[in-house]
Structures are given as structure tokens and as C-alpha cells.
Chains A and B, each alone.
Chain A
Amino acid sequence: MIKALIKRQTSRDENPPPALQGRGWVAEVDGDHATITLSGDWIARISGLEADAVPRILSTGAHTIAFEGSGLGQWDSALIAFLSSLRDAARTGGIALDEEGLPASARRLLALASGTIPPATRAKGKSLLVRTGLRGLGFTAEAAEVAALVGAACLRGGAAIRGRSLMRGTDLLSCMRDAGAAALPIVTVVNVLVGGILAFVGAVQLRRFGADIYVASLVGIAVVREMAALMTAIIMSGRSGGAYAATIATMQGSEEIDALRAVGIPLFDYLVLPRILALTGMMPILYLYGCAVGIFGGFVVAVATLNLSPMSFIEETRSAISGSQFGLGLAKSLTFGGLIAIAGCRVGLRAGRSAADVGQAATTAVVASIVGVIVLDAIFAICANALGI
């Protein structure tokens, strides 16, 4: 070290080396060796970057470059950018760089900025087979979870009816109010309008054949068999299914679910059961109510637009709809109620802990229950057709 210094000293005496300097650096060239002395502050915002610094240093023709960084003040990426471009240029020119004299933190940043950046990180694509397999496994697991939930609902529901459950009565009642009386206004509006629309559509077509009277049976059968159950289920998907998912997801976020688990309360009895019981209990009632107001909607439209007396409409409706059609509608509404409640609770329990997850859970629950309801309705239609109901 000292020898080298002396050597440099003597060589400087004999032949003063050409000095090259820029903003914050001085390069001393000694034969094919250059020493760059860095000094002062290197702050990009203040000093900016010197475009021609690197070519000027390389133009000295040095084969090895060393640094002297003890005089450095404050520095940031300005220094790293300078060093990094110098290093890149040196590498292409076959020049050796000795980084020993740089501050340790700069050396480390420089290493980070080195060319070993992984090529643009394309998501490591799994093969189609693997993805399909993972998806399939995910579906299987989810199906198992849902099946477990349905099973638990049957078992614990039975226990609850016999009064052997940890479910709180007040929870059940408040869920029943939400899924029942509180939903009446919207159920009324939608079903009245659907009944009226059916009557309109029927009237336009049937009047051509002078078959005005059959508007009554059209409205009656369509409402009782299909529309009342389906429309009510869709309304309840939005109202209750989404609300269940959001409530449970919120409890997840506020650690209430964890608190329940820590206190030792079975989540199913406490959270899921009252909701399933309330919705499956209320749906048939809402369905019957929906039938009544739907037929009323049809009645108003038919009597107002066609040459139909109120009595003949009522008479025709009574003869058209039978008990088995009500049975089908009630079975549907029970199933839909169970489906919506289970979907809402399942999505809520699976949700993450952040506020955004709450909204997402609500959306997922609504979409899942509406799709589920319509698929189930189609299955019912096929079965009813096969059974000749």
C-alpha cells in the first residue's frame, strides 16, 4: 500500500499524469491505470447527471480503474447511475474495475443494479394440465366443503328444531324478520309487475284468436309454477344472500369469528344455522305471498285491457291452477332458500380479512346464488316434465 503510494508519488514527480475532471470526480491517469476520486454531494435532484462523463473517462485509454471514495458527501442514485454506466461501458471495453475504494453501501447497491436482473419476470406459466388439475382439485375441495355444510345444516337443523342447539332464539327471530317482513315491499312490487307483464304479453297474442279468457290461466300457471318462486329467490339472493356474506365477512375482518372460536362457540350453530333456518322458513311464505300479488297484477291488467269480467278471470284462474303446481312451487322455494343461505354463509366464512374482501364476498354470494337458483330451476323443470306435473 505504502509502496504503491510512494511509487505513485515518484511517478507523479517525474511525469505529472494528465488529470481529467467532471462534476464531483477527478480522474488521475497513470499509464494504463486510472484512479477516480469522488468528492462532494451526488444528489440527482440537485446536480443532475453528467452525460459525457463515462466516454471521457474511457477515452483516457486506461485498462484498470480504481476508485477513491473517502471524500464523498451525500449521495443517492446519481452516483449509482454514474458507476453503473461506467461499469457497463468498462465491461464492453474489457476494462477492469476495482470497486474496493467505494463506500460499502454503494458497492451493495451497485451489485443490486448489476446485469443479473432476471429477464422480465413473466409469470412462471404452469402447464395447462397442471392448471386444470389444480382447478379440479380446488373444485373438489369446495364441493366437499359445501356438502359438509349441507350435511351439517340437516343434522344441526334437526337438533335445533328439537331445541338442542346453541343457536340463540333472538338471532333466529332477527334473521326471520330480515328475510320475511322486511322483504315484503320489494317482493310485492316485483311480483305485481311480473304478473302484469305476463298478462300484457298474453293479451297481445291471445286476443288474435279471441282466446282472451286464457290470459287468466296463462298468468296463473306461469306465476304459480315459475315466476313467483324464481323472482322471489332472485330478490332474496340480492337482499339476504349478499347481506349474509357481507355480515360474516365483516365479522371475519373484525376478529369476531376468531373471538367466537376462542370462546368455544360452534360457528355453525351460532352463525350459519339461524340464517339457513330463517331463509328456508320464510321463502315458502314469501312464495305464497308472491303468487297472490302476481295473480293480482295479472288480474288488474287483464280486466283493464281485455273484455273480461273480474268474475270470469277468477273462475278461470281457479280451474287452471292445481295443488300439485303449488307443491312444485313450494318445493322450489324451500330449495332456493336453503341454497341462497348456504351460499351466502359459505362465501362469508371463506372471505379474507380486509375491507375490500367484504364487498367482494357480497358480490360473489349474489352471483353464485342467482346462477345456482336458475340452474336449480332448470333441473326442477326437467324433473317436473318427466314426472308429468
Chain B
Amino acid sequence: MIDARNVRKTFGSFAALNDVSLNIAEGELVALLGPSGSGKTTLLRILGGLEFPDSGSVLFDGGDATLVSARDRHVGFVFQHYALFRHMTVFDNVAFGLKVRSRKERPSKAEIAERVHHLLSMVQLDGLALRYPSQLSGGQRQRVALARALAIQPRVLLLDEPFGALDAQVRKELRRWLRRLHDELKITGVFVTHDQEEALEVADRVVVMNQGRIEQIGTPTEIYDQPATPFVYQFLGNVNALPCRIRGGQAEIGPLVMPAPSYAGVADAAGVAFVRPHDLLLSRPGEGGGSFAVVRHVSVLGAVVRVELSLGEHIIEAETSRQRHAELELAPGQRVLLWPRQARFFLRDGWEGTTLESREELARTSAML
């Protein structure tokens, strides 16, 4: 459906996109996920024809569309700040894209009115057709923007942080609603977000971007369970990043030794182990395996209990259930056995995204200020 090949884009000396290739299938809902400045919005704008790449090409249904304008690509665009035409009613906003068509392509007045009312009922704004944008709430405005984008019967729907300006409750509702709408309409969609929860919940496939490059493409489950790079690991969900040594197929995190079969050929190297807090199993001495760790702090957060432990010189965060917490009677100072259900190791050499360490340094520097 959409095929971006080796797209590059620079703004001045800043490389917004660095050789990005992406393939989007018909009827798929794809999330572009990344921190700000990762190039995700630029990529979306290039797909939509609002921005043109310096090199590389964009194909729509196999045909080269790199230099085709937004209008001729037949894309629906939804913007972060709604971008509704403020001096038009809701009805006119939605109808505008149809009304301005040349006489040949333009549906009749009655048809336009029918289509607009159909769209407005679909976005559940039936009774508000004659209001002005300023009389609507944020969530309602964004739904008008969506109806407007859908009115021109686009081949692709592009959404730039569609829920970014809404409050948390409305955002949650709207994203479920977007997923349902997508399932009904089966329209190809791409949306940009920096919220990993949103990406994982709504999208069929997630594209994780960082510094103008794609770090990983995969289904939400793949992205969460098998992050390809340290960056993806840290960007998606909470994770413990622990310095370790990798020696002959084993990783040593302080006193804890874990098998790392994929590094069997590595004699001795510095590495980093990534362990999600909920993958850490805690047990009483004598009951299970693992290494001894000392509980430093316990906080009960609703359904889960977060436990801070010290393992040798490392501080580790673990998550466990309320029930397990009650069984173990966790309290600061207590010694427990700690065993990671799964962990992933990366060698420090050749690891370019040094986000973790720089974050550590940042924290230290700001402590001083």
C-alpha cells in the first residue's frame, strides 16, 4: 500500500530522517513511536505529502508518489491541535473538502449533506452540526477533525499525535474508539505518538524511531517481549539496566550468574543486562534459586507492589503481586532470593544508544545544581 524507501530529510544541519524505509500494508493501523525529535512527525508529513524528502521515494500502491501533492494523494490528515477552520460550523468543516472539489467530481448538495451527517453520527456528534469549533470540547474537536479527514474518502488516514492535546481520561476513551472505528472502516492508518501505551494498545504494528532512524518494527507483543535494541528496551516500559560482565556464555550481574547462550563466543566483555521489574521472582531463602538481595524499600501501588532491592552494588526494582507480598512479608532490610525469569544482554561495545548512562550522568549533574 504505502512504501517509503530510503527516505532522508534534513532541516538545516539537523538530520530529521536518516535513511528510513517502511512498508505499510493495506488496512493496517501502524503507530510511529518515538521520543520528540526522533523524526516520526516528519516521516508522517512526508507520507502525507506535506513535506518532501531530500532523497528516497514514497510509493502509493506501487506508483511513485514522492512529488505528488497532499491533495492528489487522497490522504486524510488529523493534526495534533485539531486545525479546524474556526470561522466555519462543524458541518461546513466536514463538508469543506467535498464542496471545494471541481464541478465534475463534486457530489450534489444533498449527497454532501447526507455524507456529512453520516460521518457526524459515526463520530457521535450528531446534534452539534451547527456549532462552531470554539463551542466544542477538545475531544469533540478532535472527532470533528477526524470526520473532516474521512469526508474526502481518503485511501490513507494519517494522524499526528491525535490525542496529544487531550487529558488522560478522554485520551483513553478516544483511542479505544479509534481502534473500533478502524476495525469498522478497514482503512489504512498511520498515527504518530510518543505514548508507548497508546501505541501498544491501538496499533497492529509499531515502528519505534529514534534519532531519525527506525529501531524496530513489529507487532506490539514482539516489540514489548523482544526489543531489538537497548533503546527499545528502555523506551517501552520500565526496565532495570544493570552493568554486567559476559564471560563464555554466562552473564554475571554482581553475584548473580545467568546463562547468556547467544554470547557463548565472547570470552570476557562488559555488557548491560535488561530485566523488566515484573520478570524478577522473589522467594524466601531456601525456597527457590537465585542470589541474595536485600530489600531496601517497599511501596504498594494498587494491584502491584514495587520492591527496591540491593544486589551487591546494584539497585534493582522488582514488581510483585499483593498476594506474594503478603506471603513473603517483605520489609526493608530483609534478605530474599532474587531470580530473573528472563533478561536480555547487550554488549557495551557497539552499543551506540548510550541513553541509560547519559541519563545517570544527567541525574548526577542535576543533583549538583
The chain B residues found within 8 Å of chain A, CB to CB, are 45, 48, 50, 69-72, 75-77, 79-81, 83-86, 96-97, 100-101, 145, 148-149, 152, 243, 270, 348, 357, 360-361, 364-365, 367-368
Contacts and interface: CB of A to CB of B under 8 A. Distances in A.
Contacts of B364: 74-76
Given A258-B79, A259-B83, A260-B85, 17 more contacts: A44-B368, A45-B367, A76-B367, A104-B357, A108-B361, A255-B83, A256-B84, A258-B45, A258-B50, A258-B83, A259-B79, A262-B71, A262-B149, A264-B71, A264-B72, A264-B100, A265-B96
A263 B357 contact: no
DSSP majority for the A interface? helix
A262 B70 contact: yes
Contacts of A270: 100
Interface in A328-354: none
Residue of B80, B97, B243 with highest tally of chain A CB at under 10 A:
B97
Contacts of A77: 365, 368
A262 B360 contact: no
A15 interface: no
Contact of B96 (A43, A74, A263): A263
A256 B79 CA distance: 9
Contacts of A74: 364, 367
B152 A264 contact: yes
10 contacts: A44-B368, A76-B365, A78-B368, A104-B243, A105-B360, A105-B361, A258-B79, A259-B85, A262-B50, A262-B77
Given A262-B48, A262-B50, A265-B96, A255 B81 contact: yes
A261 interface: yes
Given A76-B367, A105-B360, A262-B50, A256 B100 contact: no
A302 B101 CA distance: 60
A249 to B, nearest CB: 14
Nearest to B101: A264
Contacts of A312: none
B287 to A, nearest CB: 32
B79 A255 contact: yes
A261 B71 contact: yes
A262 B81 contact: no
Contact of B368 (A76, A254, A261, A265): A76
B70 A264 contact: yes
A145 B76 CA distance: 29
A105 B356 CA distance: 10
A320 B48 CA distance: 63
B76 A256 contact: no
Contacts of A255: 79-81, 83
A45 B100 CA distance: 65
Nearest to B365: A76
B367 A43 contact: yes
A6 B318 CA distance: 41
B148 A263 contact: yes
Contact of A256 (B50, B72, B83, B360): B83
A20 interface: no
Interface string A219-244: 00000000000000000000000000
A254 B81 contact: yes
Contacts of A75: 364
Interface string A65-100: 000000000111110000000000000000000000
A166 B100 contact: yes
B315 to A, nearest CB: 12
A261 B70 contact: yes
A264 B71 CA distance: 4
Interface in A140-197: 166
Contact of B69 (A43, A256, A258, A261): A261
B77 A105 contact: no
Residue of A262, A263, A265 with highest tally of chain B CB at under 10 A:
A262
Contacts of A105: 357, 360-361
A44 B270 CA distance: 29
A204 interface: no
A77 B69 CA distance: 52
Contacts of A258: 45, 50, 77, 79, 83
